Structure 1
Amino acid sequence: MSQDRISSGKTTVYFHLPGLFEFYELYKRFLPLFFEHREYFYEWCGIGSIYGAPAGCIWGGGRVGEGDQNPGEVLALLEKYGISARLTFSNSLLREEHLADRKCNALCAMFEKSGKTKNGVIVHSELLLEYLKKKYPGLYFVSSTTKVLTDFDRFTEEIDREEFRYAVPDFRLNKALDQWDTLSERQKAKVEFLCNECCFYGCRDRKRCYEAVSRKNLGEDGPDHCCTAPGAGEGYRFSRAMKNPGFIGAEEIRSVYLPMGFSDFKIEGRGLGSALVLEFLLYYMTRPEYQIHVREEMYLDNMLDLF
């Protein structure tokens, strides 16, 4: 079954969703709803990809929280609906000896051979990018937001690189609309905005935070990163993310960014609970009058207790 592209050109938004392995059970229920009950969802939205990595991948980076679902089952689910899978291999601290990792190479080989959809890898390391380009040319590549590109000119250089199909800017560039409007159509087609970041807007430690995750995935000792931003102790709160100056809401996507020529938007959520990820899917993709229908179908049990 191929993905139903509701409309063409710049009239459809494609969301890139979190938790490829971590939220497999969630997507196993959600994807049939999305494709079989289109009346539940906004006609202007589609699913561009689902991203993530299994537990124990040393090439992994970004957020912690990857699952250990069988990769073959994950790939089969996405192939059934014609959705691209993206491996989140955004570790920024890789060295030459890490490139031979058997698990990560096996995953790339498996996802490259997918016959129905073209799959990708989200990368940070230039070393890894050059390796993957040569060894797995059937994959496409996405420049990771973990590069923390907050300078617009520097980010423009990133989207002009031929090896990247998409590039994700730091969320603090999201509202630079006058600058975004100067891009060509080709450049706009490669921008993928991170919508729902909860990180403190004035944070100066974002890169160190990502490096700490990269170091942890490599199993190396190093200083832990303790976030001291306001509200950090509460963890992720969608209500707080909505107040972030870089937040991009559903209506803003439809009425501002899409008419400007931007169609790709990333929703973060790895390392969170599936219930919260469902709230993201409801908010960004589901018509308000049908949100209760989606919840009922997802929960399946009307006697469900939360506590």
Structure 2
Amino acid sequence: MNNPSVCYHLPGLFEFYELYKAFLPLFFEHREYFYDWCKIGSIYGAPADCIWGGGRAGFGENNSGQILELLHKYGISGRLTFSNSLLKNEHLLDKKCNQLCVLFEKSRNVQNGIIVHSEILLDYLKKNYPNFYFVSSTTKVITDFDKFLAELNRKDFDFVVPDFRLNKNFAQLEKLTAGQKRKVEFLCNECCWTGCKERKICYENVSRKNLGENCPDFVCKSPGGNKGYVFSKAKENPSFIGIEDIKNKYVPMGFSNFKIEGRGLGSAMILEFLLYYMTKPEAQLQVRENIYLDSMLDLF
């Protein structure tokens, strides 16, 4: 664990520009604050009004040019979250989404990627924007391990994010080849109830909203679902992957890619994720002080 062995894929490419503008200089210029065994593999997201978008709707207002400059400065891969599951052929010519692809495909010093669900969109992107790498989205809700294995074996994808309920299937995960393990990207901090039967319906509701359809909000009926995201609750989830799990279980097994969710949350919560997963406990106060904490700050 002396060399960077863990790649974190962080939320909020368009949503949390100001946070990353403050955090990234700290991470790269004060490595003594952070675990030396981890690095940033990518930052993912999509603009609020992007019809190809999926996962979360209505978040992400920041300027694409500024975002790309920040990514280029630190050599970080940007991932466009184009995981809408309900796209049709007529949606493929959307001007804004294609402009984003043109912009992000021209990365100067690192390859950018696209998180995708729709097979129609994947075929279109492969044909028209071949310089991207592609990530199979967790919005597919693949909970059957054999189907997940088939997804891993597809040459279309450099990474596959399984449903969080496969996180602890260690007997099957351990049997994967080294090449397959390199493609697995675990979703670490999901708060959703493991017994949820409506996860795919929830994602489809987001897809409809991104397409501009007039549809009611999805109402989560899972235990505690009305309280929204609670990190302490997520830590109690049987599928939760914590720091000790990563160091002592997943890395020794040959896994190295871990996704942190949170695009629809506030920047304060994202900072808590960055502190928990990447920052040494003794340096967390320094990171807070550099980002927002000062002696005159009032909470109420």
Q: In which range does the TM-score fall when normalised by the shorter chain? A: over 0.9
CA distance in 2, matches of 1:61, 1:44: 31
Query: Which one of 278, 294, 307 corresponds to residue 271 of structure 2?
Result: 278
Given the superposition, is the C-alpha separation of residues 248 and 65 from structure 1 closer, same or farther in structure 2, using an over 3 Å criterion? Answer: farther
Query: Which one of 245, 248, 255 corresponds to residue 241 of structure 2?
Result: 248
What residue number does 1:3 align with? none
SS at match of 2:115: strand
Query: Which one of 196, 200, 211 corresponds to residue 218 of structure 1?
Result: 211
Contact 1:95/1:127, CA 8 A, preserved across alignment: yes
Question: Is 1:21 aligned to 2:24, yes or no?
Answer: no
Query: Which one of 144, 152, 165 corresponds to residue 151 of structure 1?
Result: 144
Letter in 2 for 1:247: F
Query: Which one of 193, 196, 200 corresponds to residue 203 of structure 1?
Result: 196
Report the CA distance between 1:281 and its aligned residue: 0.3
Report the CA distance between 1:153 and its aligned residue: 0.7
Question: Is 1:179 aligned to 2:179, yes or no?
Answer: no
* RMSD of aligned alpha carbons: 1.0
SS at match of 2:295: coil
Alignment of 1:46-125 (within 5 A): 46-125=39-118
Moved over 6 A (4+): none
Letter in 2 for 1:258: V
Letter in 2 for 1:236: Y
CA distance in 1, matches of 2:255, 2:58: 29
Deviations 1:127-160 (A, max 9, x none): 0000000000001100000000001110010011
Letter in 2 for 1:292: L
What residue number does 1:191 align with? 184
Contact 2:57/2:209, CA 8 A, preserved across alignment: no
Alignment of 1:162-177 (within 5 A): 162-177=155-170
What residue number does 1:231 align with? 224
Report the CA distance between 1:220 and its aligned residue: 1.1
CA distance in 2, matches of 1:32, 1:274: 17
Report the CA distance between 1:66 and its aligned residue: 2.4
Report the CA distance between 1:224 and its aligned residue: 3.4
CA distance in 1, matches of 2:216, 2:171: 39
Contact 1:18/1:50, CA 8 A, preserved across alignment: yes
Identity of aligned residues (%): 69
Given the superposition, is the C-alpha separation of residues 65 and 236 from structure 1 closer, same or farther in structure 2, using an over 3 Å criterion? Answer: farther
Letter in 2 for 1:14: C
SS at match of 1:50: strand
Contact 1:22/1:65, CA 8 A, preserved across alignment: no
Deviations 1:29-72 (A, max 9, x none): 00000000000000111000000011100000012352111101
Deviations 1:78-103 (A, max 9, x none): 11000000000000000000000000
State the TM-score, normalized to the length of structure 2.
Answer: 0.98
SS at match of 1:42: coil
Contact 2:5/2:37, CA 8 A, preserved across alignment: yes
Letter in 1 for 2:267: S
Letter in 1 for 2:117: H
- Please identify, of 196-205 and 221-230, the stretch whose mean Cα deviation from structure 2 is larger: 221-230
CA distance in 2, matches of 1:252, 1:305: 36
Letter in 1 for 2:197: R
In structure 1, runs of 5+ residues without a counterpart are 1-5
Letter in 2 for 1:276: M
Contact 1:152/1:173, CA 8 A, preserved across alignment: yes
SS at match of 2:191: coil
State the TM-score, normalized to the length of structure 1.
Answer: 0.96
Total equivalences in the alignment: 299
Letter in 2 for 1:118: Q
Letter in 2 for 1:191: V
SS at match of 2:9: strand
In structure 2, runs of 5+ residues without a counterpart are none
SS at match of 1:257: helix
Letter in 2 for 1:283: Y
Given the superposition, is the C-alpha separation of residues 219 and 65 from structure 1 closer, same or farther in structure 2, using an over 3 Å criterion? Answer: closer
Report the CA distance between 1:234 and its aligned residue: 1.0
Letter in 1 for 2:33: Y
What residue number does 2:284 align with? 291
Letter in 2 for 1:157: A
CA distance in 2, matches of 1:302, 1:18: 29
